Amino acid sequence: MQPAIAEQWNFTIQHQLTHDTTFQIGYVGQKGTHLMVPFDYAQRVSLPNSACSTPPCSAASPLFSQNTALYQALGTSAKVSGTRSNGNMEYNSLQAVLQKQMSHGLQYQVSYTFSKCMSDSTGYYGAWDNALSASAYWQNIYDPRAEWAPCYYDATHVISAYAIYDLPFGRGKAFGHDMNKVVDAVVGGWEVSPLVSWRTGWPLPVFGGQDNTGTISRGFRPDCNSLPSITNTRITGIGTQWFTNNGNFTQPATGQFGNCAPQLGGLRGPHYADLDFSLHKDFQMTERFKLQFRTDFVNAFNHVNYEAPNTGIGPTMGQITSAEPPRNIQLALKLYF
């Protein structure tokens, strides 16, 4: 067990375009070592099928004592869970930001990231939202290079943007400068704040089948013969068929580990797109008291963001049957003093 180490570095150039607007672009990198990995010290060593009369062929783990009463009681099916600090991660990205400071009632920022994250450590806690993560256990503890794959949270392209805009209507504004106070109380002083989030889909793992190696692997995977095409075909009453397994994924041969990577960078889940929107107005009651009315729209356009598809080998492989929450509208009245 060792403390994890994170090294980070970046190089950024910023240019002022106007008195209130800047553009910056840079490279951002990170490297993680000694990451925690769940580990089965008793996993057996795979041997060529010619090494025994009835394949699959395997030998006892050299990492775990075979002389304990527990191991002898469990026999060749023994599993001894532990941890090791042998995980690694690398992240490289191009990041760009266009930012305008508040002037003339408008402030905004647009950010773009083009990145790649690779790791051999999925982590204990797995994925969230519409991502899927492979087994936290390595398929073959004696071949760590086979675990090097895209991080389950690797999004190639990410765009995020926000704005704050004082609408130019009402007393003292560009439109309705001399508006009477009653009308101004209704149409003047409104502020709008959109927030946009968009990213490409996360890589998918493939599950299913059985361990054909005789090593009692905890993270066994199938063979990847090719990658299926994304079809996104509607299934009435069920959801959508994101992709179809037409012989793309099969069981490995006896005595062989599956050649699928933990996460498939070439097979990704649905992209994510969201627009949140806030609208509020302040009513100055006295010098001390202010009343604010606001309404917030989460997923304002009610865009359907699919959850990850089923990636287990079987008849429902590739199907998506759920989505993230629909539009949510919140109304609030706040008194400031």
Higher per-residue pLDDT: 1 or 32 = 32
pLDDT reported for residue 253: 92
Tokens of 72: 């002898």
Q: What is the mean pLDDT of the chain?
A: 91
Q: What is the pLDDT of residues 73-94, one digit of tens each?
A: 766 677 888 899 999 999 999 9
Residue 135 pLDDT greater than 80, yes or no: yes
What percentage of the chain carries pLDDT values higher than 70? Answer: 96
In this structure, are residues 64 and 236 in contact, taking their beta carbons and an 8 Å threshold?
A: no
Q: What is the pLDDT of residues 145-180, one digit of tens each?
A: 999 999 999 999 999 999 999 988 877 777 777 778
pLDDT reported for residue 202: 95
pLDDT reported for residue 78: 74
Domain boundaries along the sequence of the chain: 91-336
pLDDT reported for residue 64: 75
Q: What is the pLDDT of residues 213-222, one digit of tens each?
A: 999 998 999 9
Residue 71 pLDDT greater than 70, yes or no: no
Distance CA 270, CA 201 (A): 5
Distance CA 73, CA 9 (A): 51
Mean pLDDT of 15-20: 96
Residues linked to residue 28 through DSSP beta bridges, in sequence order? 10, 93
pLDDT reported for residue 74: 66
Residue 62 pLDDT greater than 90, yes or no: no
Higher per-residue pLDDT: 193 or 69 = 193
What would you report as the CA-atom Rg of the chain, rounded to the nearest whole angstrom?
A: 28
Confidence of residue 270 (pLDDT cuts 50, 70, 90): very high
Residue 31 pLDDT greater than 70, yes or no: yes
pLDDT reported for residue 183: 80
What percentage of the chain carries pLDDT values higher than 90? Answer: 73
pLDDT reported for residue 28: 98
Mean pLDDT of 12-25: 97
- pTM for the full predicted model: 0.88
Burial (CB count <10 Å: 0-12, 13-18, 19+), residue 154: buried
In this structure, are residues 148 and 157 in contact, taking their beta carbons and an 8 Å threshold?
A: no
Return the C-alpha torsion angle 55, 317, 324, 113, nearest 10: 70
Higher per-residue pLDDT: 313 or 283 = 313
Confidence of residue 21 (pLDDT cuts 50, 70, 90): very high
Residue 294 pLDDT greater than 70, yes or no: yes
Higher per-residue pLDDT: 61 or 295 = 295
Q: What is the pLDDT of residues 230-260, one digit of tens each?
A: 999 999 999 999 999 999 999 999 999 999 9
pLDDT reported for residue 75: 67
Question: What residue type is assigned to position 257 of the chain?
Answer: F
Higher per-residue pLDDT: 1 or 293 = 293
Q: Give whole-number Cα distances, 38 to 61, 154, 310, in Å.
A: 16, 21, 24
